[in-house]
Structure 1
Amino acid sequence: MAGESSVPGDGSAGSDGRPASVGTGVLRTSSHLDHPVEDLVAAKAAQGLTASLVLPARNEEATVAEVVSAYLPLVGQGLVDELVVLDSLSTDRTAARAAAAGARVVHAADVRPELEAVPGKGEALWRSLGATTGDLVAFCDADVLDAGPHFVAGLLGPLLAEPEVALVKGFYQRPILDDDGEPRETGGRVTELTARPLLNLYRPELGRMVQPLAGEWAGRRSLLEALPFPVGYGVEVAVLLDAHERLGLGGLAQVDLGCRTHRRQSQDALGVMAAQVAAAALRRLGLEPEGHAMVQFSPDGHAPRETPLTFVERPPWASLAPVTEAGAALSR
């Protein structure tokens, strides 16, 4: 059953296995099992809403076709009106495999072509708002090994059930596969070592959000188009903080999606990701980044390696001039 976190404590699970509350306030927390597809289709039709599913993808030829195939039945069932793979400057066969699997593929550079496309997850998500038309927009990662329709149904459920909810974050068990294909550890290192400490210290209400950086999330277009999007990995924490600032905890919800498996990333890659997450969060706390590079060291010789960092943020979509005819064609 859907409910609200209500037991103060240290973040341990409640009797039903869901996370207990921390501090004051409530956060709507439910399971994907609370949101059957047939009920959502009926609610969507009754409210006259449309829904878009976006899969941002960069060089995901190994998994994108299977992910598209997992979600495509939702189009036939009427829950999703359009399934779009937003190809973020891929150099492999991501676009071809996604199209062959049945997705509509949109290349990042073709959305608002007057603005040069840059690599980055946030860039792909921001441009997807110009390539889709749904009143509700769900985002799901394209590198997941066990995607299923329940991911999308779970994310759209609270938006269709609660008019005041405008942003939904997924959470899940998240085993990580090592190079040999075996689960070796649990994901969430950037969440636990960067995002969660910052949120608990400076936005404690959001400390009850299980996975604030989850790649599976959804929102109302009216909210998403009103927010700036960092072009990199800071996008999820930025949208969460901005939505909370506008709507309070009552405008947010989270949904247990079960299990989500993905590949392991290196510590260096996660360090760069953590820097982008921290910069986006701290900017919203009034602290601008001064450095623009991540210096890391090799374990064998301590030789420094420098990775440039970008903290560019795209403006709210609603603040832009109307799209060109070429851009409008992408949304049809």
Structure 2
Amino acid sequence: MDLSEARRWFETRTFDASSPLGDLVDAKAGRRVTVILPARDEAATIGAIVQRVRTALCDLVPLVDEVLVVDSRSGDATAQVARDAGASVITVTDPDPAFDGGKGAAMRTGIARMQGDVGVFLDADVTGFDPAFVARLVGPLLRDPSLVLVKAFYDRPTHDGGGGRVTELAARPEIARRAPELGGFVQPLAGECAFVRDAFVDLPVVSGYGVDVGMLLHAVHKHGLDATAQADLGRREHQHQGLTALGRMALQVRAAFDLVLEGRDVVVDERWVPTRRADGTPDLVAERVETRLLPPPGADG
């Protein structure tokens, strides 16, 4: 594909600001909006996010109709903190109880259980959360009936000089080789997005951290590139994962391209992870990373 297609899309489908909230309420036109937060061990941040969404976008301005937290096997008080802040809390449902579907399974559960016609996925580990994030994401989708997915992009200050490593080292090479039409997405792995439920309820979901790019690939394959857009959220901060976790994430991201573009059901990667023993001597630990294509949310009935 000619790279000019990605440039054309970028220039026509990139939004940098939202209109007044009152205009968005009118643009709902009877549709319900659900904010969904997949969360695992996010008790430190989930409460403030839920409270700010409910105060600004449920109580003051009736833009959001439901705030749904999907608790994904948390070992801390994530569920109780979210419930106390006013969210509806549900537990992740894995199609195979023996397989931990991670973030993908949590997002799949959110789509299956949401009451809204339009959904907004938010990361649950954001500090300094701004309710305007929701408005900027959902605004283009509410105003333009041709859109089914709006992805976020943002300025993310880093404390270790390594923000966006998985995007640049895993996602962008795959996009350049296998899906160049997606080259205009500033952050194709961003977890925040707005979407039309009916456009995704019958599509399979990639497990783990491959879910975000998998959702994008599915959307473009079924609905076309111009059914997607991206919105600038400005400055945003969240927690950073260690190198071992980022390596696992990169494998899941690359597997998503195989699952969606090649029609595979599962991709299994095996690797050695360097570590140190208790006495400080070097060691290697074997790790198996399995990424699956989970059944569509609508399969849960």
What is the TM-score when the length of structure 1 is the normalising length? 0.81
SS in 2 for 1:187: coil
Give the alignment partner of residue 58 of structure 2, picking from 75, 78, 88.
Answer: 75
RMSD: 2.2
Mapped partners of 2:229, 2:19: distance in 1: 13
SS in 1 for 2:208: coil
State the match for 1:134 in structure 2.
116
Give the alignment partner of residue 42 of structure 1, picking from 18, 21, 26.
Answer: 26
Match of 1:312, as an amino acid?
R
Find out whether 1:56 has 2:45 as its counterpart.
no
Mapped partners of 1:285, 1:316: distance in 2: 16
Find out whether 1:198 has 2:174 as its counterpart.
yes
Match of 2:14, as an amino acid?
T
State the match for 2:273 in structure 1.
296
Match of 2:80, as an amino acid?
A
SS in 1 for 2:108: helix
Structure with the higher fraction of residues in helix conformation = 2
Match of 1:30, as an amino acid?
F
Q: Are the aligned partners of 1:272 and 1:294 in contact in 2 as well (CA < 8 Å)?
A: no
Q: Are the aligned partners of 2:259 and 2:293 in contact in 1 as well (CA < 8 Å)?
A: no
Mapped partners of 1:165, 1:184: distance in 2: 36
Give the alignment partner of residue 306 of structure 1, picking from 262, 286, 289.
Answer: 286
State the match for 1:187 in structure 2.
163
**Percent identity of equivalent pairs:** 40
Q: How far is the alpha carbon of 1:292 from its aligned partner? A: 3.5
* Structure 1 segment 273-288 matched on structure 2, within 5 A: 273-286=249-262
Q: Are the aligned partners of 2:71 and 2:92 in contact in 1 as well (CA < 8 Å)?
A: yes
Q: Are the aligned partners of 2:32 and 2:118 in contact in 1 as well (CA < 8 Å)?
A: yes
Q: How far is the alpha carbon of 1:306 from its aligned partner? A: 2.0
Larger deviation, residues 63-72 vs 49-58? 63-72
State the match for 1:11 in structure 2.
none
SS in 2 for 1:198: helix
* Structure 1 segment 1-332 matched on structure 2, within 5 A: 22-23=6-7, 25=9, 27-31=12-16, 33-44=17-28, 47-72=29-54, 73-76=56-59, 77-109=61-93, 116=97, 118-176=100-158, 183-185=159-161, 187-286=163-262, 291-298=268-275, 303-318=283-298, 320=299, 322=301
Q: Are the aligned partners of 1:86 and 1:105 in contact in 2 as well (CA < 8 Å)?
A: yes
SS in 1 for 2:126: coil
Mapped partners of 1:67, 1:25: distance in 2: 32
Q: Given the superposition, is the C-alpha separation of residues 304 and 217 from structure 1 closer, same or farther in structure 2, using an over 3 Å criterion?
A: same
Match of 2:147, as an amino acid?
V
Number of matched pairs: 291
Mapped partners of 1:294, 1:67: distance in 2: 36
Q: Are the aligned partners of 2:102 and 2:209 in contact in 1 as well (CA < 8 Å)?
A: yes
Match of 1:107, as an amino acid?
T
Write out per-residue CA displacement over residues 16-43 of structure 1, whole angstroms, 9 at most, x where no aligned residue.
xxxxx85555550012x33322110111
Q: How far is the alpha carbon of 1:223 from its aligned partner? A: 1.1
What is the TM-score when the length of structure 2 is the normalising length? 0.89
